[in-house]
Amino acid sequence: MKSFDVSAAVAQWRSQLISAGSDPSFLEELESGLYDRYDHFLLSGLPPAEAFARAREKVGDVPRVAVAEYGKAARPSGFALGYLLPSYLKTGLRTLRSRPIYNLINYLCLTIGIVTAAIALLYLRSELRYDATTPNAQAKYRLGMQYRSQGYSMIGFSDYNQTDADEQLERVRALTELPGILTAVQFQTFPERQLIRLREGKFEVENLLETNTPAAFADFFGYRFLSGSATAFAAAPNTAALTAGEAEKIFGPDWRNQNIIGQPLTIDTFTYTIAGVLADPAPNTHFDFSIALHRERIAYWGSRLYVEADAAQNAATLAAAIDDNFAKINASLAQQDLFGGVIVQPLRSIHLGSDLLYELKPPGKPAYLYVIGIMALLVLLLTISNYTNLAVAMHTGRSREIGMRKVFGAGDGQIAGQFLLEAALLGLLAFPLVMTVLYFLLPRFDALMGTAIGEGALRSPVVWGIVVAATLVIGSLAGLYPAVYLSRQPIIGLFDHRMKSGGGGAVSTRKVIITLQFTLLIALCSLTLLVNRQLNYMQTKDLGFDRDRVLYVNVNADSSRFATFREEVLRLPSVTSVGAGTPLGQQDFNQLTYKLEGQSEVFDDAYNVYMDFQSLALLDIETSIPELVADPEQAPARLVLINNTLAERLKNRYGLTDADLVGRTIIEEPEYTDEETGEVGFPYEIYGTFGDINVFSLREQVGPMLMTVSRNPRYVYWAAVRYREDSPTEILKDVRTVYDGMNLDPIFTHAFLEANLEDLYEDESRISTLSTYFSLVAFGLALLGLIALTAYLTTLRQREIGIRRILGASQWSILRRYNGEYLPLLAVALLIATPLSWLAVDEWLAGFAYRIDVGPWVFLLAAGLTLLVTVLVVSMVTVLAMRVLPARVLSGE
């Protein structure tokens, strides 16, 4: 039997193709594939003739099949695209498998970028959708008032704390009688913890809410009753509606199976009947509450007022109408010169657009939305640039594939589509890992940022839609430039083996993208360094008092009981002193008016704080009366000090000296006149001065301040306890024992001064932590990208490295040469990143009255860190390449 001649069979096959019109210059590619398949079938055990027949069948009859299929691909028809989509997917999967290490790096980078983008999008969506769950929210408004020079998020009653129930409701009726206002509702919340008694048990609750418009309240905010009804809640006063969360705390997880409707609960001296259980309010609303109480009269000096208007109204027209008729709403307030009119805020604008006093929740800061958005964008750009850089660098490995497809009629769009499909496919393959990472990260993100995004997020179709959209968009964006760049390569260039060196346009593109990466890294690193420096500055700046080891306790006691408390706490070995007075480290509170006796000019920007001499001493506040602070028994029962800022104002305004100022009378609230005595305001003798102290955040300049200092305060709300270096937990335990032993208020409320100050900068602390995480992620991405890119490019240059080593080049000279390529790029990146980052951080720092100085060294340090990472990566990969023997490299092994 004659043996099979594979060479003759291949020659016959070639002649048939040439005679059918195929270009012989490209038969090499087809012939290589034919031989590969022939060898495969031989190894599988087929006879030579049958193996060749099977191989030829797999390669295809080019004149009849392959050319026809490429012709279909060249025609821009939807049918052809759908027909070839499985082939595109198969090609894409095969390509992803062909370079597993590089594609794994791209996979990880895409995953990190998608996770970062998804978290940023979910956070921004949560912040921008505050109060969106309120029905008809676009037509609802909150009313506040301008009083003195401050804005308040509530409006006072006619007679403040003494206003009766009918008068409180009268202003609601007056509002609803105005044209264009459909509904009005009022309530007040009480954030302090209170004790409730139920079923002979006691429970601590906070965020109680009182309303005397119960039906309108439930309907206005769209609260849904899970048990009971809005009718029962509104039917009679002294009813209560619990939120589901509070019902679970009190009655347990099976509260739905218990008969809780109609049960009594007692708060203070009032007994309420449970009328229903409400679904928990959405987490992104501008106020929370645990139990809503229907009261005939709200026990406070004012209330939160909300209105719903018809479509023809807006905030400006409503404010004008209410101001014109305010005498009907609150006659006494309308007559006061200090009243500056109502403030009308659209409900949806409160969270990100309010700066009023006594907000129910700390408002969000739009600037920080920009910060998080920009940081996420920087990470996303690094992700895309990593993919782009590596894809373009690796294009030489597929140049012949692209060339063959173009030869057989594929257009630029189809080739670009293949690369886009591969990028999108890689993104979709990352989707399961993205969702897994989000599952673990979202609760931690919520804990850091004080949000509730993770609650049921991964069960929400909207969240899945956001993540899928982010996956497809980011994958497509990552593959966009490589797709366009590679598809536009000329056919001749695609078959030019010299392109494998990475020269020409590929090198130019690579340098541009690396420069972009360096710019992003320097910008993000410098922003992180500056944010952390400002936070550290705020935490360490001298505030005018000793902030360390001070515990505040709410004693709420008269002078005799406080004296007993002080005496007992001073017996504790770890306590050095006990005082009384206004806790420091607070949010803004209301200012007062004042004037100097004998002058007509009235100011309205002073704060008033209260202390005893012991508090002055333990806080180490500088005063002009140190001898009285050291020996309070020699001091008057009460005296008034003014801070240096106020002293300077009065001296400069009226040409006084320090000696002239002491002994003068300052009149607080000169707008008030005692009807019996005719005395104007509340006059106090200026006894001396005290140093400026930062009671509030460092975002605010220290303003005028008065301090009333008492030897024995008649009533003490807050006690200040200075302790030694002992553990705060132990101190708290010991003081609590004394407190409980005296049968003071059953709710023990305390605060550490250091914690108060930290709370003032909670947002800054969160942004600092988040920016650090973003920077670490960014450097991690850059590290992965540089490792992959350098490894690939070094592989292409191994012959060059081998030749240099044979010619005597040292390892150091090769490292210096390859690292030196990045120095000009880093210098350009520094020049671009510095002014942009400087402007951004300067804009952010403008929100602080006390701030750090921005110097160029921060940007140089960021560039130095970037350079260090780059040198380490490039050197590591290059050293690994240099370890290969030059002879093996040059021999092609």
Q: Are 420 and 449 in contact (CB under 8 A)?
A: no
3-class DSSP string for 116-135: HHHHHHHHHHHHHCCCCCCC
Distance CA 837, CA 767 (A): 16
Predicted pLDDT of residue 147:
93
Reported as a single tens digit per residue, the pLDDT across 310-357 is 988 999 999 999 999 999 999 999 999 899 999 999 999 999 999 999
Residues 708, 713, 719, CA angle at the centre, nearest 5°? 95
Distance CA 877, CA 677 (A): 90
Distance CA 874, CA 786 (A): 7
Confidence of residue 304 (pLDDT cuts 50, 70, 90): very high
Average pLDDT over residues 814-843: 85
Q: Which of 74-88, 237-251, 263-277, 586-600 has the lowest mean pLDDT?
A: 74-88
- The residues near 698 (Cβ < 8 Å, ≥ 6 apart) are 538, 541, 761, 848, 849, 850
Nearest to 379 by CA among 125, 123, 128, 110: 110
Q: Are 667 and 600 in contact (CB under 8 A)?
A: no
pLDDT at 868 over 50: yes
pLDDT at 398 over 70: no
Nearest to 174 by CA among 329, 331, 335: 329
Max alpha carbon distance in the chain (Å)? 137
Confidence of residue 707 (pLDDT cuts 50, 70, 90): very high
Distance CA 153, CA 303 (A): 9
Structure tokens at 143: 């009313």
Q: Are 341 and 320 in contact (CB under 8 A)?
A: no
Beta pairing class for 302-309 and 155-156: antiparallel
Distance CA 231, CA 242 (A): 15
Amino acid at the residue 109: C
Amino acid at the residue 67: V
Average pLDDT over residues 479-494: 65
Higher per-residue pLDDT: 502 or 363: 363
Distance CA 613, CA 91 (A): 82
Predicted pLDDT of residue 501:
41
Q: Which of 340-344, 477-481, 536-540, 685-689 has the lowest mean pLDDT?
A: 477-481
- The residues near 117 (Cβ < 8 Å, ≥ 6 apart) are 376, 379, 380, 470, 474
pLDDT at 63 over 50: no
Amino acid at the residue 485: Y
Q: Are 525 and 864 in contact (CB under 8 A)?
A: no
Q: How far is CA 74 from its chain centroid?
A: 49
Place of tokens 């009235």: 602
Nearest to 288 by CA among 297, 278, 300: 278
Which of 286-300, 766-780, 864-878: highest mean pLDDT? 286-300
Dihedral over alpha carbons 329, 333, 339, 344 (to 10 degrees) = -20
Neighbours of 138 (CB within 10 A): 11
Q: Which of 94-103, 697-706, 711-720 has the lowest mean pLDDT?
A: 94-103
pLDDT at 437 over 70: yes
Nearest to 188 by CA among 305, 347, 303: 303
Nearest to 71 by CA among 409, 306, 399: 409
Mutual orientation of helices 762-796 and 505-540 as an angle, nearest 10°? 160
Nearest to 609 by CA among 546, 696, 669: 696
Q: Which H helix or E strand runs over 315?
A: helix 315-324
Residue-averaged pLDDT of the chain? 83
Predicted pLDDT of residue 470:
79
Residues in the chain: 893
- Inter-CA distances, 258 with 98, 229, 272, 275, 701, Å: 63, 16, 18, 14, 55
- Inter-CA distances, 87 with 31, 80, 321, Å: 21, 11, 69
Ramachandran bin of 194, using left for φ above 0, alpha for ψ from -120 to 50, beta for the remaining angles: beta
Reported as a single tens digit per residue, the pLDDT across 714-744 is 999 999 999 998 788 899 999 999 999 998 8
pLDDT at 593 over 50: yes
Distance CA 491, CA 579 (A): 86
End-to-end C-alpha distance for the chain, whole angstroms? 41
- Structure pTM? 0.79
Structure tokens at 528: 């992180």
Distance CA 847, CA 699 (A): 6
pLDDT at 26 over 70: no
Residues 228, 232, 236, CA angle at the centre, nearest 5°? 150
- The residues near 813 (Cβ < 8 Å, ≥ 6 apart) are 804
Average pLDDT over residues 173-181: 94
Provide the 8-state DSSP code for 632.
G
Sign of CA dihedral 879, 880, 883, 885: negative
Structure tokens at 304: 């939160």
Distance CA 632, CA 710 (A): 9
Structure tokens at 787: 């490792």
Structure tokens at 551: 């515990």
Place of tokens 């982010």: 470
Distance CA 659, CA 479 (A): 76
- Inter-CA distances, 46 with 40, 41, 49, Å: 9, 6, 8
